[in-house]
């Protein structure tokens, strides 16, 4: 997709960047929202880094993740398999 954006925009390749983790971020937010019965818009969680083994997850919200850290970890692991 990033390559297609470079071609379509006419910009040089050093002016366009992409992320391979957008889909993983969306899946993570959806899974967390479903588990905790809130809107995905209320979840600020992202998959960052390179796509694959070096991907890492971060979140920032008012939710107390400390009480649900194991659930959060399982959801992250499942999102890798989806």
Cα 25–49–62 angle (5° rounding)?
45
45 has which bridge partners?
A: 59
Residue among 4, 5, 51, 82 flagged as catalytic: 51
Assess whether 51 carries a catalytic annotation. Answer: yes
| Cβ contact 36:69 at 8 Å | no
Q: Which residues are annotated as catalytic?
A: 51
């Amino acid at each position: 997709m990033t390559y297609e954006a470079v071609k379509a925009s006419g910009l040089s390749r050093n002016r366009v960047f992409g992320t391979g983790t957008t889909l993983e971020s969306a899946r993570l937010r959806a899974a967390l929202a479903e588990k905790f019965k809130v809107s995905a818009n209320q979840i600020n969680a992202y998959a960052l880094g390179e796509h694959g083994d070096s991907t890492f997850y971060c979140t920032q919200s008012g939710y107390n993740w400390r009480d649900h850290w194991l659930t959060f970890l399982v959801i992250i692991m499942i999102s890798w398999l989806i």
